């Protein structure tokens, strides 16, 4: 039975290694998370496939927005207010493209979603 246990350990280790590789090699597609912290969107850009969700979580104690476009030309696709720490919003884009966004309250806060 010793050998079976050793085999199980080896299999578990292999699964772990595989899992890590899959994580590092995460393809565009699955849901992506963006954190808003100290007046920055992180990470940016994020890459998703069409229709995948990008979720935003505010980690600052103040209100930020996630607004599509640029401060000089908001495009009206989405605009979410995240009022204080822990608030979240989700954005879903169906068509491939590069979608910039920003915070209406702090114009230097910019980010980008790439849909491929
Ligand atoms: Cu802001």
- The pLDDT of residue 9 is 65
> Which of 48, 54, 116, 43 is closest to 91 using CA atoms?
54
Q: How far apart are CA 55 and CA 16, in angstroms?
A: 26
Query: How many whole angstroms from 102 Cα to the centroid of ligand 1?
Result: 8
Query: pLDDT band at residue 94, thresholds of 50, 70 and 90?
Result: very high
- The pLDDT of residue 22 is 43
Query: How many whole angstroms from 66 Cα to the centroid of ligand 1?
Result: 8
Q: How far apart are CA 115 and CA 105, in angstroms?
A: 25
Query: How many whole angstroms from 17 Cα to the centroid of ligand 1?
Result: 39
Query: pLDDT band at residue 30, thresholds of 50, 70 and 90?
Result: confident
Query: How many whole angstroms from 47 Cα to the centroid of ligand 1?
Result: 22
Q: How far apart are CA 34 and CA 64, in angstroms?
A: 13
Kindly list the protein residues that place their beta carbon closer than 5 angstroms to ligand 1, a single-atom ion. 64, 103, 105-106, 109
- Average pLDDT in the 23-40 region? 78
- The pLDDT of residue 58 is 98
Q: Which domains does the chain have, with CATH numbers?
A: 28-115 (2.60.40.420)
């Amino acid at each position: 039975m010793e050998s079976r246990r050793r085999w199980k350990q080896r299999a578990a280790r292999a699964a772990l290694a595989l899992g890590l590789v899959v994580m590092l090699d995460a393809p565009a597609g699955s849901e992506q998370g963006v954190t808003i912290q100290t007046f920055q969107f992180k990470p940016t850009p994020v890459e998703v496939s069409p229709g995948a969700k990008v979720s935003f979580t505010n980690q600052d104690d103040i209100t930020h927005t996630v607004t599509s476009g640029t401060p000089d030309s908001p495009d009206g696709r989405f605009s979410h207010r995240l009022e204080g720490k822990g608030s979240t919003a989700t954005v879903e884009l169906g068509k491939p493209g590069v979608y910039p966004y920003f915070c209406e309250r702090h114009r230097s806060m910019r980010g980008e979603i790439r849909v491929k």
